[in-house]
Amino acid sequence: MSASAKLAQRIFRAEVLGMHAYAVPDARGMVKLDAMENPYALPEALRAKLAARLAEVALNRYPVPSYAELIAALRAGMEIPAAASVILGNGSDELISMLSVACAKPGAVMLAPLPGFVMYKMSAELAGCRFVGVPLTPQFQLDATAMRAAIAEHKPAVVYVAYPNNPTGTLFDAADVARLIAAAPATLFVIDEAYQPFTGKTWMGRLGEFPNLAVMRTVSKLGLAGLRLGLLAGPPELVSELDKVRPPYNVNVLTEVAAVLLLEDKAVLDEQAALLRAERETLRAELAALPGVEVFASDANFLLLRVPDAAAAFHGLRQREVLVKNVSTMHELLAGCLRVTVGTPEENRRFLDAFQQALQD
């Protein structure tokens, strides 16, 4: 073992040494339908406006940590109630990480339904919290009874509910979720609305109803994944504590200025989201017509489907230069499942053609 490898073994925690880095496959030259990105570019005129505005940014200065203008733009664009406080993250991933760090008392538990977003578990365990996953029903609905029992048993600091859920695309029953929130005042519920642009449903307007509710949003799935910008809105007494964990300059000045400008033209992104919603239903109908393929309802910009052999279908697609996500080994409920992001009509056509061929390999 090299001296540096020995040093790594000595200084890093066993959890870190035992982890795998978040794997991002090489997608060069592929139809990229694995990461829920918006496939559409910004209109030329808007790009020119953005370039001119970014050219004026004072890169020699630190961001102003209040981010007042950006937060005001987000409040307007995402209909955040005036009574709620807002904290920004370098993507919602960073907010999840801040929550884990802030809550990591000895024995602290973070809980979420499974299959769910992998960062809830990864981030909890990295911070030294215990993660409890509660299986969904086989149709990927919330198992309200099991959730209630697990919350009573483990008394989690935080429960994450992705609404809609990733990787299933399911929109859980809101009344079930509301009952869980009301029944567990000693737990913070974080509703993760990363896919809100594709469903229109939101908990934002219900923040005032529950003292233990926060709503998380991101601009990533809306079409700005490269900016890395997310937010959490919630009761001021909770957000002000969480804000102590936030690195003071966590959102950079280019992101700040770009987001303010693009939120003024949010209608452009909303229209793209509407196109993707319509295209999702077209794609779903075509997939549902294929023999041996089960496709699930989705309120997000992706579809979950089940095939007889997920690994073979994944490789067959990859050979034909289409990249999707093989989620079949993520959780036992996902056996045989692939997740495919909704692309442009041309991308979806290429996916469908490749998929039909792959099924016959």
Ligand X SMILES: *Cc1c(COP(=O)(O)O)cnc(C)c1O
What are the residues binding ligand X (CB under 6 A)? 36, 91-93, 117, 162, 166, 192, 194, 218, 220, 225, 230
Tokens of 9: 């073994």
Is-contact 232 216, C-beta < 8 A? yes
Provide the 3-class DSSP secondary structure of residue 245: coil
Residue among 334, 326, 270 at smallest CA distance from 301: 270
Write down the residue that tokens 């061929």 correspond to.
Answer: 357
CA dist 242 and 33 (Å) reads 34
Identity of the amino acid at 23:
A
CA dist 133 and 112 (Å) reads 5
Nearest residue (CB) to ligand X, 156 versus 230: 230
CA dist 326 and 310 (Å) reads 7
Nearest residue (CB) to ligand X, 39 versus 91: 91
Shortest distance, position 100 Cβ to ligand X, whole Å: 14
Nearest residue (CB) to ligand X, 217 versus 284: 217
Nearest residue (CB) to ligand X, 163 versus 355: 163
Cα angle value 140/308/350 (rounded, 5°): 90
Shortest distance, position 249 Cβ to ligand X, whole Å: 18
Nearest residue (CB) to ligand X, 85 versus 166: 166
Shortest distance, position 225 Cβ to ligand X, whole Å: 6
Which single residue brings its beta carbon nearest to ligand X? Answer: 91
Shortest distance, position 169 Cβ to ligand X, whole Å: 10
Nearest residue (CB) to ligand X, 197 versus 235: 197
Nearest residue (CB) to ligand X, 262 versus 293: 262
CA dist 335 and 344 (Å) reads 27
Nearest residue (CB) to ligand X, 117 versus 355: 117
Shortest distance, position 291 Cβ to ligand X, whole Å: 30
Shortest distance, position 174 Cβ to ligand X, whole Å: 17
Instruction: Identify the bridge partners of residue 341 per DSSP, sorted by sequence position.
Output: 302
Identity of the amino acid at 63:
P
Roughly what angle, to the nearest 10 degrees, separates helices 174-183 and 144-154?
A: 20
Shortest distance, position 38 Cβ to ligand X, whole Å: 12
Per DSSP (E only), the strands in the chain are 31-32, 85-89, 109-114, 130-135, 158-162, 188-192, 213-218, 230-234, 294-295, 302-306, 322-323, 325-326, 337-341
Q: Which long-range contacts (CB under 8 A, 24 or more apart) does 58-62 make?
A: 58/253, 59/253, 59/254, 61/253, 62/249, 62/253
Cα-trace Rg, the chain:
21
Identity of the amino acid at 331:
H
Shortest distance, position 37 Cβ to ligand X, whole Å: 10
Shortest distance, position 216 Cβ to ligand X, whole Å: 7
Nearest residue (CB) to ligand X, 34 versus 192: 192
